[in-house]
Amino acid sequence: MWEYLVSLPVLGLALMLQVAIFSRLNLLYGSADLLLIVVAAWSLQERVRSAWVWCVLAGLLVGYVSGLPWFVPLVGYLLVTGLAAFLRQRVWQAPLLAMFIVCFIGTLVMQTLAFVVLRLLGDPLAFDQSFSLIILPSVLLNLFIGMLVYPLLRNLAAQFHPEEVD
């Protein structure tokens, strides 16, 4: 129950940091997506049961403050959470590797989805320019920030789900 309640302040703080700081830290034209990283890191925790709730809440929050249509972040974060759930079962002995994989693929999916929707809405940016100036730099930033965020959320998850001693 507590992990559902803590989602509001954690995601709210992450959203404020995203809007105020991380959206301004650009590499070329790409920027980090802190909420994507938080959702990925939380979804990779072994005993967490609220990953889908965090995912939907984060998607709706980003959809509300973003210039993209509201469903783009929601769909992207749902795909990231699904990938994390899949990898949590397969790569359970290397959680940091799973975090890198989820951040890498999740950022590619999220940015490509945003590109496709913006293209359908009339944005004239070509895919090769978008890929080299926005998508790849965003991937690099998310991978770097993911290394910092994952241990914090692992510790937070451990507070709500302490390891059982035999």
What the block records as the tokens of 145 is 């920030």
The confidence score (pLDDT) of residue 104 equals 96
User: What is d(CA 76, CA 93) in angstroms, rounded to the nearest whole number?
Assistant: 26
The confidence score (pLDDT) of residue 90 equals 77
Is residue 22 within 8 Å of residue 31, measured between CB atoms?
yes
Is residue 52 within 8 Å of residue 11, measured between CB atoms?
no
What the block records as the tokens of 2 is 């507590």
Report the candidate in 51, 34, 33 with the shortest Cα–Cα distance to residue 42.
51
Is residue 102 within 8 Å of residue 139, measured between CB atoms?
no
Q: How many CA atoms lie within 13 A of 90 on its CB side?
A: 11
**E strands, the chain, where?**
26-27, 30-31
| CA distances for 140 relative to 39, 49, 63, angstroms | 17, 29, 23
Site of tokens 């789900």: 161
- With a cut of 70, list the residues of the chain below it in pLDDT: 1-3, 91-92, 163-166
